[in-house]
Amino acid sequence: GAVRAVDRDLIELADAFGFRSGLQRLVKVLLPAATPGILVGIRTALGQAWMAVVAAEIFGVFGLGQRMMQASSLLATDIVVVYMLTMAGLYGLVDSAFVALQGWLLRWRA
């Protein structure tokens, strides 16, 4: 994962600067260095979770997916398209919010 990918030289440098305890090393070196990789994993997980929510709604849990399936069974393609665009728009908002949060958390890298 992201923590394993941290450069060993950074850990040696932390030792040289006196960050010998595990907590100091974690807070001052490992987490800041691993944050970009951790955030990529979280963003990927958000996308997969969104697909799982949509699939659950399509197959029985009440929500937009179930309404979309009902409209599909009535051959109301215009309503199906509206529901699909709504779901895509909602995911776009969630993803945009996460990208903004990611930019704020990683502003030190700019």
Give the residue numbers spanning the domain of 57: 35-109
Q: Is residue 90 one of the residues assigned to a domain?
A: yes
The predicted structure's pLDDT at residue 110: 65
Q: Is residue 21 one of the residues assigned to a domain?
A: no
CA count, 13 A, side-chain hemisphere, 1: 10
Q: Is residue 29 one of the residues assigned to a domain?
A: no
Q: Is residue 30 one of the residues assigned to a domain?
A: no
Instruction: Give the Cα separation of 99 and 43 in Å (integer).
Output: 8
Task: Give the DSSP H/E element, type plus range, for residue 10.
Answer: helix 8-16
Query: Of 65, 71, 70, which is closest to residue 52 (Cα–Cα)?
Result: 65
The predicted structure's pLDDT at residue 68: 87
Q: Is residue 27 one of the residues assigned to a domain?
A: no
**Can you spell out the DSSP letters for 61-110?**
SSSHHHHHHHHHHTT-HHHHHHHHHHHHHHHHHHHHHHHHHHHHHTGGG-
Structural domains in the chain (count): 1
Identify the residue whose tokens are 């895509």. Answer: 88
Q: Give the other-Cβ count within 10 Å of 60's Cβ.
A: 10
Q: Is the distance from CB of 2 to CB of 36 less than 8 angstroms?
A: yes
Give the chain's radius of gyration (CA, Å).
21
Per-residue pLDDT of the chain (110 residues; tens, 9 = 90+): 898 999 999 989 998 999 888 898 999 899 999 999 999 999 999 999 988 888 888 887 788 888 888 899 999 999 999 999 998 999 999 999 999 999 999 998 76
The predicted structure's pLDDT at residue 46: 94
